[in-house]
């Protein structure tokens, strides 16, 4: 599978990334079932796995880590990304009164230590700040990320859902380069193409990861935009002997920013064949045909 090199460091990611945010939703949470998903992803050439401390109400990292604990050789075959700074108002933290964000050094350090413990690893390949924090002290947060990299606990740092002024503020207080911005991009969520996010990401050399590349499943739901675009996706899938979900991923892959879709499914059968998305051809006119069908508006 094609790989994307991150800026300024010797680290590359698989062009498709397996997102584990629904891992705890699977009724079968056995190590055997988790391992089956990991093996299916690796067989497709998908070596990068996207986590966050909060996924599955703080349970997904641990479920995934049990498979790594059972077979330590798996760790050398993959890149692990995790995210932090969202503090959920959940029964696991009964003293919390509200969901909030925390980018303090103390919180980042404690979150990384817990992620390493749960994932049974000595380091993360990349740590992302999950959401912009209105109370972020950029000097403190930047110094904490630099220190984590220097200590070898994370190989690199990035952000998620940030706009350019927010990540540039943080970058201005760091010695190491931010290497990733993970944002929502899909056929049904075109904002990043229009609001300057993808342009700024390319200008600053960040790798754009796309979360919810199927719009959280809405692409196959009943809303008007999905119903307008789905016949086109079905036609393209039939013409190329493929699947509609793979056509949707191929639409993102066709963009010159080198978007990396974060694909999440608990169905091992859906993981199998994901790499075929890289072979689907989406020419310029077809790309815009999909855009117009989803938006419901002709281009100006």
Q: Give the whole-angstrom CA distance, residue 235 versus residue 289.
A: 12
Element (H, E) at 229: helix 224-239
Active site (annotated) includes residue 58: no
Q: Give the whole-angstrom CA distance, residue 50 versus residue 47.
A: 10
Q: Give the whole-angstrom CA distance, residue 266 versus residue 248.
A: 18
3-class secondary structure, 184: strand
Listed in sequence order, the residues at least 6 apart from 181 whose beta carbon sits closer than 8 Å to its beta carbon are 158, 159, 160, 162, 167, 197, 201, 206, 207, 208, 209
Task: From the candidates 18, 55, 58, 100, give the one annotated as an active-site residue.
Answer: 55
Q: Give the whole-angstrom CA distance, residue 279 versus residue 2.
A: 11
Catalytic positions, written as ranges:
55
């Amino acid at each position: 599978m094609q790989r994307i090199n991150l800026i300024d460091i010797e680290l590359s990611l698989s062009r498709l990334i397996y997102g584990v945010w629904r891992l705890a939703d699977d009724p079968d949470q056995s190590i055997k079932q988790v391992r089956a998903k990991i093996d299916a992803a690796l067989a497709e050439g998908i070596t990068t796995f996207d986590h966050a401390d909060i996924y599955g109400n703080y349970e997904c990292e641990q479920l995934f880590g049990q498979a790594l604990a059972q077979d330590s050789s798996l760790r050398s075959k993959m890149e692990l990304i995790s995210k932090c700074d969202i503090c959920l108002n959940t029964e696991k933290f009964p003293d919390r009164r509200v969901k909030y964000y925390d980018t303090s050094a103390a919180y980042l350090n404690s979150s990384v230590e817990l992620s390493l413990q749960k994932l049974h690893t000595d380091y993360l390949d990349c740590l992302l700040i999950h959401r912009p924090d209105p109370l972020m002290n950029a000097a403190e947060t930047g110094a904490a990320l630099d220190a984590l990299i220097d200590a070898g606990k994370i190989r690199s740092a990035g952000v998620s859902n940030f706009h350019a002024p927010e990540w540039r503020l943080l970058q201005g207080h760091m010695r190491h380069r931010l290497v990733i911005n993970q944002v929502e991009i899909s056929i049904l969520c075109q904002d990043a193409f229009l609001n300057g996010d993808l342009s700024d990401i390319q200008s600053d050399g960040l790798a754009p990861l796309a979360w919810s590349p199927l719009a959280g499943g809405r692409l196959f739901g009943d809303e008007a935009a999905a119903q307008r675009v789905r016949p086109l996706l079905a036609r393209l899938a039939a013409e190329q002997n493929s699947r509609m979900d793979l056509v949707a991923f191929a639409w993102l892959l066709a963009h010159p920013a080198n978007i990396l879709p974060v694909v999440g499914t608990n169905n091992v059968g859906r993981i199998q064949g994901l790499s075929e998305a890289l072979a689907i051809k989406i020419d310029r006119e077809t790309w815009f045909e999909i855009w117009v069908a989803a938006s419901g508006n002709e281009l100006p």
